[in-house]
Structure 1
């Protein structure tokens, strides 16, 4: 969820959903001020051997905003909200992105996989998507 939803992140989950205390404590320790970076949230997931989605639920239930999306989509301040469109996109990269689309959007997890496969920075995938007019969807942490 965006900063506009601050204070209401938990509302997107069932009231019966319980906060995992182990994940909650690790998330609290990983916060910087009152927020957690995308990278720190993924480190928590890796360290605890849980999914990024489980960490995302804890982040939401604790009402902690996520910043510095590793794809460059949000959390960098007004001057750097999105990655700039790439000047060119290789045919191989365009094909890989095209094959991974779900309802004409590229899921976050697929963007990460493509970045790894092509040995590119994750933000470069976002730049390619910007050039191709493709939106990225389904954040692994559940922010969008």
Structure 2
């Protein structure tokens, strides 16, 4: 969703979307001033045995703003992104990234898997994709 959609995240799920009460209760405790960091959303998903997508949907229905993307793509104040420009990308890493593209984009989940496989921080993988001019989508939480 775009910045203009801020505060209207529930719209994308339609009027019949239902909030999972256990997830809602946990997010109510963990969110700060209407914001929910990506890492916290994933911790809630793990703790409750829910999918990240389900937690993201509940966050949307609660009008919580997702922040501090673990790939560095969004939610950092005052800058939107914290990606550091890379002058080059490891050729093996680039090859795997290119192999995992779907519709010219790298799914967030695949980005996490590649980062783990290569032993690099998720933000560094986000920077590598940025250097290669590859968009990461879809987000596991449904932010984009």
The CA deviation at 1:78 is 3.2
Match of 2:36 in 1: 36
Gaps of 5+ in 2: none
Return the TM-score normalized by structure 2: 0.95
Q: Distance in 2 between matches of 1:111 and 1:86?
A: 17
Alignment of 1:54-69 (within 5 A): 54-69=54-69
Gaps of 5+ in 1: none
Distance 1:93 1:36, change over 3 A: same
The CA deviation at 1:92 is 0.6
Match of 1:90 in 2: 90
Q: Does 1:139 align with 2:139?
A: yes
List 4+ stretches of structure 1 deviating above 3 A: none
Q: Distance in 2 between matches of 1:130 and 1:96?
A: 15
Q: Distance in 1 between matches of 2:15 and 2:117?
A: 39
Report the count of equivalent residues: 144
Deviates further, 72-81 or 97-106: 72-81
Q: Distance in 1 between matches of 2:67 and 2:79?
A: 14
Considering only aligned residues, what root-mean-square deviation do their CA atoms show, in Å?
A: 1.2
Contact kept? 2:7, 2:65, Cα under 8 Å: no
Contact kept? 2:104, 2:134, Cα under 8 Å: yes
Match of 1:75 in 2: 75
